[in-house]
Amino acid sequence: MGWPTLWRPESSGRDVLISSSVLLDATSRLIVASGIAQIYARHPVTTAAAQKTLFEAHDGRFLLGLGVAHAPSVEGIRKLDYRTPYSDMVAYLEAMADAPYLAVEPATKPPTVLAALGPRMLRLSAEAADGAHPYFTPPEHTAMARDILGEGPLLAPEQMVVIDRDLDRARSVARTHMARYLRLPNYTNNLLRCGFTQADIDDVTDRLVDGIVACGDIDATMRRVQEHHDAGADHVCIQVLAADNDLDVTIDHWRRLAEAFGLGHQTISAKPDRNS
């Protein structure tokens, strides 16, 4: 289809680094990015070794995205402490930087981006990493993120889309997919920072849905991607949503979007749903 990059999520399904390796082995041009690998899932020395191994073995086509995830997955599933996620990320990046590696180093330093929403994590993305991969955010957040990151660091926000001219039906699909994220304080706190109200969150208003998910025809997606670029994004990751996670519909919409943007467009990418 011409998509230059595929972002691979990690929750409680396939291991993101192993699946990235499978995808890289199966392709010759595709960039594969972890969006994101959870830091609590693996030791920083192991992550540093995996990053360098994938980057060196596949001609620099791997981008490591790291994140602290959320309390339910860290404490509820992994039974680990989630009291100090920011400090944990600082220490994790320092440990990765100091990790011994006796194999052949990649010719260039592999890039790392952070799942960043709030100002502190965004600043860390610029100071200790190579950029940020915000998730579940409107273009207004992209503008704020660029102001904090400054020029240079990669800013690659994710954008959910529902391709359906029936706005009521499209918003219904959007609300179904948004529900799990609206139960997570990291996201709801960020929505409040972005100007949404608690009533928007509680009622999942059209204003909130339309701010987070681009609903409508192909042109609606293209306009939203442009809004992110106008706000300072370098790269926009498109996540296609479909009723009942219908894979045939998702693939068809990715194909139509690829045609609309032009094959080989280098500033947008695809992201599968977490259940894919």
115-124 residue pLDDT tens: 999 999 999 9
Examine residue 79 and state whether it is found in any structural domain, yes or no: yes
Examine residue 40 and state whether it is found in any structural domain, yes or no: yes
Q: List phi, psi (to 5°) of 85.
A: -60, -40
Q: What is the pLDDT of residue 89?
A: 98
Q: What's the CA gap between 222 and 248, in Å, rounded?
A: 21
Residue 131's Cβ-side half-sphere holds a number of Cα atoms within 13 Å equal to 22
Examine residue 188 and state whether it is found in any structural domain, yes or no: no
Is the bond leading into 36 cis (omega within 30 degrees of zero)?
A: yes
Examine residue 193 and state whether it is found in any structural domain, yes or no: no
Examine residue 91 and state whether it is found in any structural domain, yes or no: yes
CATH number at residue 134: 3.20.20.30
Residue among 118, 133, 144, 126 at smallest CA distance from 5: 133
Report which residue type is found at 160.
M
Q: pLDDT tens digits for 12-47?
A: 789 999 999 999 999 999 999 999 999 999 999 999
Residue among 48, 90, 51, 50 at smallest CA distance from 68: 90
pTM over 0.85: yes
Whole domain around residue 230: which residue ranges? 5-160+217-271
If one counts the domains in the chain, the total is 1
Q: What is the dihedral of CA 223, 23, 276, 65, to 10 degrees?
A: -60
Examine residue 165 and state whether it is found in any structural domain, yes or no: no
Residue among 235, 271, 265 at smallest CA distance from 253: 271
212 touches 139 (CB < 8 A): no
Q: Reply yes or no on whether the pLDDT at 274 is more than 70.
A: no
Examine residue 178 and state whether it is found in any structural domain, yes or no: no
